[in-house]
Structure 1
Amino acid sequence: MESTAIVASEKLLELLVLVLLSGVVFAKISEKVHLPDVVLFIFAGILLGPHVLNWINIDKYPIGNQFILTFGAAYILYDGGREVELKILNKVKYTVILLATMGVIISTFITGYFAYKILHIDFMCALLLGVIIASTDPSVLIPLFKNMNISSKLKQTIISESAFNDVAAAIITFAILGIIQGGTFSLKGSLLKLALSAGGGILVGVVVGVINSILISEDKYGILKEYPSQLAIAGVGVAYLISEKLGFSGYMSTFIVGMICGNKKMVNLRLPEESYITHLRFKEVLTVILRMMIFILLGTQVQFEILAKYWKASLLIVAVLIFVSRPVSAFISISLDRKAKWNFKEIVYMMWIRETGVIPAALAGMMVTMKIPNAQIISSVTFMAIIVTLTFQASTSKLLAKILKLEEHSNVRKQVA
């Protein structure tokens, strides 16, 4: 028993060392070749994975792999929540809700219909494919927008949508999965489940976030103010675990914890300056490490045999996702929120921005594990969506912002002067 535990711990340590070392090397290469670092991380995973060097094989590290994907996504969502200002989010809340619900549903049906026609698979399996790749990825969008000077309103709408639409996509995925496995679909039941999952996650996130903020504040109850980073990790874990055990969205709750902690000044809770600086640096380093781990591990899971067989169809479906599904679903959703007063350039930008990543990959991997019909095809299309959207859309998001004149460099300079 003891030797088994030692072997397991050594395997986990081996996994961490390989991922971190390769992550640092390929992060440096990404700076030289001017490609998004996540693309190079995926390439590193392919290189280290079972199809090339076979240094990292998730069959050898099942627990470590799942832990990194789960905690990594949760902490990155927490970090994204901290970037959201509640005053700004309140102005665009209907846009976010519409994009994360109606937008996901519209995208699912458009992509699913074309997948049905292109791949000649069962229609429900095609819809399952459509919903799995419908959500956007906060682990890519959050770091991307930290380095861009677009308006806070636009930035926080896109980041918030990416957090909220993961919940909707996951719930719709399991609703369709239930039908495929012989169940029945209930619109009322699915909407109720969505509301319960999201609402419960929000409630847990608020409670944990408030307690966390009080314990690290400067006032008399701030008994742990010297340990903001440690408490942040604990808070993310507590919120995720409680939500999942209660049947709520763990990822939603961690995002809300971040929002509460990032907006604690609104209720006059402040972190001591020295602790704030320490926590900020720690958070940035940890987020980079987790992104390395997540995308390198995704790269090791590429199914080349399936990808080679369906690459043309996969590319065609991804093209539909980028040029049809996202623009149509985003335009309809955004247009219904008149109060947000979006201008045409902002709408065009939101119609373009969408990166596929961690959650779709996790859902696709789950379908393969469960041996759902056409799961290998779904996995192939999902990976193609990840590669294409990360290389094509993420790398052009800054350029498009410049073309549409959405960046605020001139305004920043005027204010500094």
Structure 2
Amino acid sequence: MLISLPKGFSYSKFLYLAILMILATFSTKLAARLGVPGMIVFLLLGMIFGSDGLNLVQFNDPVLAQQISFILLIFILFEGGFSTKKKLLEVAFRPAFSMATVGIVITAVTLGVTSHLILGLDILSTLLLGSIIASTDAAAVFALFRNKNIQPRTAATLEIESASNDPAAIILTVAMIDLILGKVATPLLFFVNLGWQIVAGIGIGYLIGKVGPYLFNKAKLNTGGFYYVLILSMCFLGYGLADVIKGNGFLAVFMAGFWMGNSEFVFKQGITRFLEGIAAFCNVMLFLMLGLLVFPSEILTFWKQGVIIALLIIFVARPIAVFASTVFWKYSFKERLFLCWGGIKGSVPIVLATYPYVAGIDNGNFYFNIVFFVVIISALIQGSTIDLLAEKLGLLVKKKPYSPYSLELLTLEESQCELLEYDVKKDSCLIDKQLHEIPLPKDSLINAIVRKNEIITPRGDTTIKGRDILFILVKYEDKDDLLTILEEGCLDENKQTEQS
């Protein structure tokens, strides 16, 4: 990133960037209190520090911004896939995939046609605009849902859709640009290209997701730090291989993260924490950079078109696409309403909005400014009310108890064990039971109990209370049996006798 200082300053050119990142970090507390997504605050900070604001950090290169955005999105999507549970993907993948393909086309066409009719803009321009804005944003959705308590299947549908709808949006955008520039592609070629990108992306993701754990288990590296290097190489390898064979790199990265996240391998808990940190950093940098790229004075000149297009996509195009593309799956009306409202825009539409400028289309800045305005409105209206709507629709689940403690089992060799964190629900049959009464699988051990933010040393006569958090060392092969015991209260006398 190129940074230049105003005249009269002699500080290091990195000083303002450091201040910007620190402000962005602490601004998350302000965003939480105001009930707005953190991405809004990051974008605004970028605009304030940028060339059209205080002019402290100059950055106005859309091509470079596009390249940096791709790198940051690789890590965001990999971590998103890594944290997605297999059971949720199996339930939500098909409807999410339908929304990510058929839904994208319906959204783009609906928004393009309605914008043309209402605003009187050229039909090709509005269809291009619809293609750019059609995709939901993985960075925004993952960041927004990370600390939310949304019903798992519905949240997973939106997360998987946002991670897999980039191929359709990118191909639509490129196809419309080619059409405007007179490079017409046949419909058959369009669908063949789309299909190949999806199939190749999933295939490469599966390959990396299976090879990755094998490499971790066989590497036997000297220090834990090298495992962090290895996981970063898996991210780039997934994207790079897919790109070489003309597949979709973002989809490959998400699927690679998914398969690795649902596999057991050496140093996994350390890798999980590391990826969370990397994803948080990438989210902050992505939205700060896009904020720096914006000139607020230019955006305000398009506010009327921006407001109309934002309202059209939120209340017309997105609902039509969701209801049409989920018709074959059993979602309730309330769930579909939430899926409509969860189509939050973010960095990907802004990145796609640089395509017309890079391609040399006349008035390329028009698309960027309109899309940025739409993203701001989408994040403010939809992102700020997502919890409220989920509560009104009855889609909130009980919040997990908070603990200031985190216990981890970090090993550089194959241990075949993990440290399981289990929350004791208020209605659990474990309540008022003593530890020696629980028929744990052989070689399993409760290492610690967190109760009301205090650590309780576990002993045989320790009594379990509601809202306790148990840290249990268990072998991989016994994990399912352990969860069955804890969930179903398998405390019959025969098993107690066997354990004793």
Shorter-chain TM band: 0.7 to 0.9
CA pair 344-155 structure 1, distance change in 2 beyond 3 A: same
1:223 correspondence with 2:220: yes
| Alpha-carbon offset, residue 371 of structure 1 | 2.7
Among residues 367, 384, 398, which one is paired with 1:378 in the alignment? Answer: 367
Compute the RMSD of aligned alpha carbons: 2.5
Rounded Cα–Cα distance in structure 2 between residues aligned with 1:362 and 1:15: 24
Deviations 1:91-147 (A, max 9, x none): 333212210111111111111112223443321111000010010011111122221
The answer (yes or no) to whether the contact 1:106–1:325 under 8 Å persists in 2 is yes
- The secondary structure found in structure 2 opposite 1:163 is helix
The answer (yes or no) to whether the contact 1:15–1:61 under 8 Å persists in 2 is no
User: What's the counterpart of residue 49 of structure 2?
Assistant: 48
User: What's the counterpart of residue 356 of structure 1?
Assistant: 345
The answer (yes or no) to whether the contact 1:19–1:293 under 8 Å persists in 2 is no
Q: Number of paired residues?
A: 396
- The secondary structure found in structure 2 opposite 1:147 is coil
| Alpha-carbon offset, residue 16 of structure 1 | 5.3
What residue ranges of structure 2 are gaps of 5+ in the alignment? 5-10, 401-424, 431-465, 467-500
Deviations 1:26-83 (A, max 9, x none): 33432443422111100100011100111222247975x4453121111111111123
CA pair 413-136 structure 1, distance change in 2 beyond 3 A: farther
1:285 correspondence with 2:284: no
The answer (yes or no) to whether the contact 1:318–1:381 under 8 Å persists in 2 is no
Q: Which amino acid aligns with 1:52?
A: G
Rounded Cα–Cα distance in structure 1 between residues aligned with 2:177 and 2:83: 34
CA pair 395-228 structure 1, distance change in 2 beyond 3 A: farther
Comparing 323-332 with 112-121, which one deviates more in the overlay?
Answer: 112-121
User: What's the counterpart of residue 322 of structure 2?
Assistant: 330
1:125-140 equivalences under 5 Å are: 125-140=125-140
Rounded Cα–Cα distance in structure 1 between residues aligned with 2:190 and 2:309: 26
The answer (yes or no) to whether the contact 2:60–2:292 under 8 Å persists in 1 is no
1:237 correspondence with 2:231: no
The answer (yes or no) to whether the contact 1:72–1:290 under 8 Å persists in 2 is yes
User: What's the counterpart of residue 193 of structure 1?
Assistant: 193
Rounded Cα–Cα distance in structure 2 between residues aligned with 1:395 and 1:170: 27
1:155-304 equivalences under 5 Å are: 155-217=155-217, 221-224=218-221, 226=224, 227-264=226-263, 270-272=264-266, 275-304=267-296
Report % sequence identity: 27
User: What's the counterpart of residue 70 of structure 1?
Assistant: 70
- The secondary structure found in structure 1 opposite 2:396 is coil
What residue ranges of structure 1 are gaps of 5+ in the alignment? 265-269
Rounded Cα–Cα distance in structure 2 between residues aligned with 1:375 and 1:32: 37
Rounded Cα–Cα distance in structure 2 between residues aligned with 1:181 and 1:304: 29
Among residues 384, 398, 410, which one is paired with 2:387 in the alignment? Answer: 398
The answer (yes or no) to whether the contact 2:47–2:296 under 8 Å persists in 1 is no
Rounded Cα–Cα distance in structure 2 between residues aligned with 1:414 and 1:80: 31
The structure that has the greater radius of gyration is: 2
TM-score for the superposition, normalised by structure 1: 0.88
TM-score for the superposition, normalised by structure 2: 0.74
Q: Which amino acid aligns with 2:398?
A: H
| Alpha-carbon offset, residue 410 of structure 1 | 8.0
Deviations 1:175-217 (A, max 9, x none): 1111111122422111100011111111221212211121223
CA pair 34-89 structure 1, distance change in 2 beyond 3 A: closer
Comparing 351-360 with 363-372, which one deviates more in the overlay?
Answer: 363-372
Rounded Cα–Cα distance in structure 2 between residues aligned with 1:250 and 1:400: 33
Which structure carries more helix by proportion? 1
Rounded Cα–Cα distance in structure 1 between residues aligned with 2:73 and 2:198: 17
CA pair 410-359 structure 1, distance change in 2 beyond 3 A: closer
